[in-house]
Amino acid sequence: MNLDFFAPALALLIPFALGVLVLRALGLRFACDRLAYPAWAWLAGSLVTAGVELAVLVLGGGVDAPWVHGLATLPVALVLILWARGSTPLAVRPLPGTRKERWLGLALVALALGFVLNQLLLATLEPIYLDDEAHFWAERAKLLHAAGGFGPAYQAGLRTLAHADYPLFNPLSQLWIFVFAGEVTHVVNRLPMQLAVPAVTLVLAGATRRHLRAPAAGLLVLTFVGSMLVFSAVRRAHSDILVAFGGVVLLDAYLRWRAERRGAWLALAALGATQLAWAKNEGFLVLAALGLVAGLERWRAARAGEPLRLRAAHLVWLLPAAAVGVTLLHNLTFELQNDLMQEHAERGGMLARLFAQWQANTLEVLGFFGEVCLKGQEFQLLPLALVLLVLLDRGGARDLGGPLLVLALTATGFVLVLIATPADVDWHLRTAGKRLVLQLYPAITLLVAALMGRWLPAEPRGPVSSSRS
Amino acid sequence: MALACILFLLWRAAASVQLNVEEFDRPLGTRGEALRWSEAERIDRAVRKVEQQAGLGAGYLAEILAAIEALPSEAQVWILAGKEDRRRRGLVRLQHLWHPRRVKAIEVLPRSVAVSGEAYLIVFGPIPERAAELTLVQRGADWSLLGP
């Protein structure tokens, strides 16, 4: 690409390399899942670089010297290397299915990935200057770059910025590109968000294969990429796809942990949860639903006499809490409040609005989501398929009760927030409604795979071995 | 049930392929251009698109943007024009391509409001009398850039 590409390419390689180190430290190797692994590495590394970026800015490192930011990752890399040396690689399960089936599945995934990369490439023809990607996300990154950190200039700039309370992960990812490019860019800074779409595709390719035979899994992945909202995600630097990415990694890793009871999967799930919580405020809702369901599960386990065994690996779950904490601290420091939570002079607070508006808005909100889920072009009827599978297969629904409950609670939260909107509900639905479904879409796709897998099971797995798949 | 699942997957995967094929090309440009173009060429194309949408001649807004870009980076830029002025709307639409320090410094002023302070001023059409003491920085076909 004839963009000034070298520096941004380096800026993208560093998080990937750091992500590989994080995964090694956790005991996760390429052979654990050759399709999903690059996506996991990208997710883990992006979190590390955004964290380093935040630390450099808070400590007054400025934005003018890329080597400062590059060097700042070295101590983290060293710790990870030392940690990785002591880690035990996870046992690898051989993939089920015949060779022919696996190749067919791979061909379908390659086609899906080809479609996504084609859209990604064409999207680079347009610089970031319109839409929320310019107004909220890129502008926040530009403000951080112009102000050189969180000083008075940043504070002054926040006053005129729309949704200045939104979490920092997206702007920090763009700032990372600016720093390495040595200037504000208008195209390549979209890449960290765009890359989340092929990454989600790869995570789904690896995850669905655990539940379905390879060709069926390939068909489902191909179905997933045929969505206008996925097209929109790959064309814009929005944060919704980052929530979706974190969510599907969280769900997949949880299901792997449930099957194998290895701490590494729980740690990967925590990284997914960290991304979704640091990407957009909706991630808080997912995390709250997750906390509620996990608490419920724990309570049931305690009643059954199962003691709580906390291990060091569980500490990684402090990361999503830290992501929420960083956002809250930022907003407290700069006296920012989310517009949905704010007390409005005429309509009151969120709870007051919910009671005042439920009669007028409930049907409209539910009708909107119903219509979106029934439109083939939006989400390929996968949300509808999930509802039908849950209704038809009570056993499967019980088996996946925890994840389904988290999904249902999150969706209910979205509906309640929209009913209580301080804005015109029609406008709010039109501008944000579909993107909310996008945030859950990859997880919905994976749950469809898990439920369909009860009728189209992947072949019985062989014994656990340490050989490569 | 297994057959229903397979048929559903085949049906939706086919629909997905059809949608992807329909969206395979976008009117913005070709894959070759996406690989060849520099960032400046991509920005030029975006500016031209906004000019066309605003019914302005090629290069009209680009010339003003170049004049603004030549100003000191901390300079504020105000636009003096009517709310419905398509030239103003075009410029505001492109504001995110300006220097980041300036993005939020753009103020759109109605014709009747007096301008004061250290801001630079883009005026479409004749320069109002009250702005006469400002320095003329650059003049285009029917626009002027005035300095403090």
Model pLDDT for residues B126-136, shown as the tens digit of each residue: 887 776 677 88
Instruction: Identify the band that residue B86 occupies on the pLDDT scale cut at 50, 70 and 90.
Output: confident
User: What are the structure tokens assigned to A209, written together?
Assistant: 């294969």
Residue B17 lies in a domain: no
d(CA A403, CA A294) in angstroms, rounded, equals 10
CB neighbourhood size of A412 (10 A): 12
Most trustworthy range by pLDDT among A140-149, A167-176, B76-85: A167-176
Of A95, A96, A110, A44, the closest CA to residue A73 belongs to A44
Q: Are A459 and A96 in contact (CB under 8 A)?
A: yes
Report yes or no: A5 at the B interface, CB cutoff 8 Å.
no
Of residues B17, B34, B39, nearest to A4 (C-beta): B39
Residue A466 lies in a domain: no
d(CA A433, CA A429) in angstroms, rounded, equals 4
Residue A185 lies in a domain: yes
The count of structural domains within chain B is: 1
> Across-strand partners of B120?
B77
Model pLDDT for residues B1-25, shown as the tens digit of each residue: 899 999 999 999 999 999 999 999 8
> Which residues fall within 8 angstroms of residue A247, CB to CB, at 6 or more apart?
A272, A276, A286, A439, A440, A442, A443
Percentage of chain A beyond pLDDT 90 is 73
Q: Which amino acid is at A390?
A: V
Q: Are A353 and A421 in contact (CB under 8 A)?
A: yes
Enumerate the residues of chain B whose CB falls inside 8 A of the CB of residue A126. 28, 42, 45-46
d(CA B134, CA A168) in angstroms, rounded, equals 41
Residue B39 lies in a domain: yes
- Backbone φ and ψ of B107, nearest 5°: -120, 135
Residue B2 lies in a domain: no
Q: Which amino acid is at B128?
A: P
Q: pLDDT value at position A468?
A: 36
Q: Mutation test of the interface with chain A: which of B1, B9, B102, choosing the one with the most A Cβ atoms within 10 A?
A: B9
Between the alpha carbon of residue A158 and those of residues A140, A143, A172, B104, B131, the distances in Å are 8, 8, 15, 10, 31
Residue A124 above 80 pLDDT? yes
Q: What is the pTM of this model?
A: 0.92
Residue A459 lies in a domain: no
d(CA A445, CA A208) in angstroms, rounded, equals 8
Cβ separation A222–B13 shorter than 8 A: yes
> Across-strand partners of B107?
B78
Interface confidence, given as ipTM, is 0.90
Model pLDDT for residues A136-147, shown as the tens digit of each residue: 899 999 999 989
Residue A182 lies in a domain: yes
Of A273, A258, A363, A262, the closest CA to residue A316 belongs to A273
Least-confidence region, from A8-22, A207-221, A452-466: A452-466
Residues of B in CB contact (< 8 Å) with A are 1-2, 5-6, 8-10, 12-13, 15-20, 23-26, 28-29, 31, 33-39, 42-43, 45-46, 93-97, 99-101, 103-104
Residue B21 lies in a domain: no
Q: pLDDT value at position A466?
A: 39
Find, in chain B, the residue whose alpha carbon is nearest to that of A457. B2
Report yes or no: A451 at the B interface, CB cutoff 8 Å.
no
Residue B38 lies in a domain: yes
Residue B27 lies in a domain: no
Q: pLDDT value at position B98?
A: 73
Most trustworthy range by pLDDT among A68-72, A323-327, A341-345, B95-99: A323-327
Mean pLDDT of B42-67: 91
Residue A469 above 50 pLDDT? no
Mean pLDDT of A403-425: 96
Report yes or no: A186 at the B interface, CB cutoff 8 Å.
yes
The count of structural domains within chain A is: 1
Of residues A146, A216, A225, nearest to B9 (C-beta): A216
Enumerate the residues of chain B whose CB falls inside 8 A of the CB of residue A377. 19
| Element spanning B135, H or E | strand B135-139
Residue A462 above 50 pLDDT? no
d(CA A333, CA A328) in angstroms, rounded, equals 8
Enumerate the residues of chain B whose CB falls inside 8 A of the CB of residue A115. 20, 24
Domain containing A283 equals 6-452
Instruction: Identify the band that residue A86 occupies on the pLDDT scale cut at 50, 70 and 90.
Output: confident
Enumerate the residues of chain A whose CB falls inside 8 A of the CB of residue B24. 115, 118
Looking only at the bridges linking them, the beta strands covering B77-80 and B120-124 are parallel
Model pLDDT for residues A272-314, shown as the tens digit of each residue: 999 999 999 999 999 999 999 999 998 998 998 888 877 777 7
Q: Which amino acid is at B131?
A: A
SS3 call for B138: strand
Domain containing B107 equals 34-147
Residue A1 lies in a domain: no
Residue B4 lies in a domain: no
Report yes or no: A138 at the B interface, CB cutoff 8 Å.
yes
Report yes or no: A439 at the B interface, CB cutoff 8 Å.
no
Mean pLDDT of B91-112: 68
